[in-house]
């Protein structure tokens, strides 16, 4: 009986192991991660994973191909591709794609880390590997920052700007050099959102500040800016075109479209005890630079979002605003993606299907049957393989038992 029980347990372990390795996907709950778009792929890495009651810093790194369609309702159906892990486990860091001598790499800065590590890491898309980066001019930057940082790059695509603790760090990926702006910001800001405008101005939107040591949320009509050409800070006032000035917030995201529209998504008031209804209103707003003045608008947003989000990331790609993972103050960390169709300037809508521009679906062969779901195929294949392996294990085990009994009793059987 013990042998039979052991065999059954072994079959279960084999099946579970094979299924796990066959359909393992980076769909675990996460927030506070980094992400960037490079070569028509959305790369995502690190962050806090697991349920909200457990904080598990991550070093995983994966991508989503934006040249093929996908649907968002089920995380298992999103075609992620897993890459070499980040050298350290971290959250609240930033990932930025920039042009360098290799034709473009992804750079990692900042974060709240499990271990300090190097201040800059570079991921080679060509080699699928990470290396430490040491600026050639000897300037150093901290490996950990005082807040969640977001890096942006200028029109040359090789200068990366990282703002923390009222200091602007500028890394030239082409020259491998690091510089610190001589002009300090008027105040420190925390948990902000930021974009690089086409004018060479970096706009810092929302977050909180502590000019006198007292933390307070920054009004959304107060836009902190940094001129990358003049290396100068300024504070701009924003007006409203329709609706009202959005409510102050932290943990939100900002992304800019080619036509200059800045999409602000999510956020909350910074209260750690808050629940979902305390999310900042509206969940979605648009900021534009019109005649050198920032103007807010609250457009119509059709459909239901997958969930309210904070500490997520967002990117504009073609006609979509892609919002990844994040945290919901009621349900904890999330494993899903929200898609907003931004093709119409007057009406925006949530969608669940992503289709890249110009995509032509392959023509199915008339002799072939419609393909099954990739996830289901994997499960079926894994189960079949696991069952076959299990049967082989059973057969071999019984064979060995019989042989063992034969040899055990052969020498004690009476002979005539």
89-118 confidence digits (pLDDT tens): 999 999 999 999 999 999 999 999 988 899
For residue 343, is pLDDT > 90? yes
- Which residues are 254's β-sheet partners? 264
Same-domain pairing of 125 and 199? yes
User: pLDDT exceeding 90 applies to what percent of the chain?
Assistant: 65
- CATH number of the domain residue 178 falls in: 2.120.10.80
Same-domain pairing of 81 and 52? yes
Same-domain pairing of 24 and 45? no
Flag whether 183 is in a domain: yes
Flag whether 56 is in a domain: yes
**How confident is the model at residue 51, as a pLDDT?**
83
Same-domain pairing of 312 and 394? no
Flag whether 369 is in a domain: no
Across 186-190, 254-258, 383-387, least confident range: 383-387
Across 252-256, 297-301, 359-363, 393-397, least confident range: 393-397
Same-domain pairing of 312 and 406? no
The dihedral through the CA atoms of 171, 177, 178, 183 has a sign that is negative
Same-domain pairing of 280 and 388? no
**How confident is the model at residue 340, as a pLDDT?**
97
**How confident is the model at residue 398, as a pLDDT?**
39
Flag whether 168 is in a domain: yes
Q: Tell me the pLDDT band of 50, cut-offs 50, 70 and 90.
A: confident
Flag whether 364 is in a domain: no
Same-domain pairing of 18 and 144? no
**How confident is the model at residue 272, as a pLDDT?**
65
| 202: nearest Cα among 236, 238, 240, 242 | 236
Same-domain pairing of 147 and 161? yes
Same-domain pairing of 66 and 145? yes
Distance CA 348, CA 316 (A): 13
Distance CA 33, CA 52 (A): 15
Flag whether 361 is in a domain: no
For residue 414, is pLDDT > 90? no
Flag whether 238 is in a domain: yes
**How confident is the model at residue 379, as a pLDDT?**
38
Beta strands in 165-292 (DSSP E): 167-172, 177-180, 189-190, 193-196, 201-205, 208-209, 216-217, 222-227, 232-242, 253-256, 262-265, 284-290
Same-domain pairing of 24 and 39? no
Same-domain pairing of 257 and 336? yes
User: pLDDT exceeding 70 applies to what percent of the chain?
Assistant: 78
**How confident is the model at residue 280, as a pLDDT?**
83
Range(s) of the domain holding residue 22: 1-28+374-416
pTM here?
Answer: 0.82
Domain count for the chain, please give it.
2
Flag whether 208 is in a domain: yes
Q: What is the mean pLDDT of residues 367-380?
A: 43
Across 24-38, 64-78, 266-280, least confident range: 266-280
Same-domain pairing of 282 and 332? yes
**How confident is the model at residue 26, as a pLDDT?**
63
- Answer for the pair 112, 125: CB distance below 8 angstroms, yes or no: no
Q: Tell me the pLDDT band of 136, cut-offs 50, 70 and 90.
A: very high
Q: What is the mean pLDDT of the chain?
A: 83
């Amino acid at each position: 009986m013990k042998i039979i029980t052991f065999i059954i347990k072994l079959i279960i372990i084999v099946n579970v192991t094979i299924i796990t390795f066959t359909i393992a996907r980076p769909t675990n709950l996460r927030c506070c991660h980094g992400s960037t778009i490079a070569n028509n792929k959305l790369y995502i890495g690190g962050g806090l994973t697991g349920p909200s009651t457990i904080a598990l810093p991550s070093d995983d790194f994966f991508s989503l191909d934006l040249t093929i369609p996908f649907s968002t309702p089920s995380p298992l159906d999103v075609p992620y591709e897993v890459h070499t892990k980040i050298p350290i486990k971290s959250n609240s860091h930033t990932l930025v794609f920039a042009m360098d001598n290799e034709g473009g790499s992804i750079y990692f800065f900042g974060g709240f880390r499990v271990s300090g590590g190097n201040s800059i890491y570079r991921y080679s898309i060509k080699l699928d590997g990470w290396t430490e980066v040491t600026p050639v001019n000897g300037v150093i930057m901290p490996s950990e920052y005082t807040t969640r940082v977001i890096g942006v790059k200028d029109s040359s695509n090789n200068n990366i700007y990282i703002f923390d603790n009222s200091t602007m760090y500028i890394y030239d990926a082409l020259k491998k050099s690091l510089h610190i702006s001589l002009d300090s910001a008027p105040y420190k800001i925390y948990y902000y959102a930021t974009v690089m405008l086409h004018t060479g101005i970096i706009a810092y939107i929302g977050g909180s500040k502590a000019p006198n040591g007292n933390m307070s949320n920054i009004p959304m009509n107060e836009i902190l800016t940094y001129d990358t050409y003049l290396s100068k800070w300024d504070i701009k006032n924003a007006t409203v075109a329709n609706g009202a000035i959005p409510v102050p917030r932290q943990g939100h995201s900002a992304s800019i479209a080619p036509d200059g529209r800045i999409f602000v998504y999510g956020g909350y008031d910074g209260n750690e005890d808050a629940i979902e209804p305390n999310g900042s209103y509206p969940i979605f707003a648009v900021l534009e630079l019109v005649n050198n003045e920032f103007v807010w608008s609250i457009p119509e947003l059709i459909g239901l979002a997958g969930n309210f989000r904070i500490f997520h990331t967002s990117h504009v790609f073609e006609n979509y605003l892609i919002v990844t993972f994040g945290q919901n103050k009621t349900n904890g960390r999330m494993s899903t993606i929200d898609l907003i169709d931004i093709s119409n300037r007057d009406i925006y809508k949530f969608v669940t299907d992503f289709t890249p521009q110009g995509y032509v679906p392959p023509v199915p062969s008339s002799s072939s049957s419609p393909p099954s779901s990739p996830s289901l195929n994997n499960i079926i294949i894994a189960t079949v393989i696991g069952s076959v392996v299990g049967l082989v294990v059973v057969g071999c085990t019984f064979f060995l038992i019989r042989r063992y009994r034969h040899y055990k009793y052969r020498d004690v059987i009476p002979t005539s």
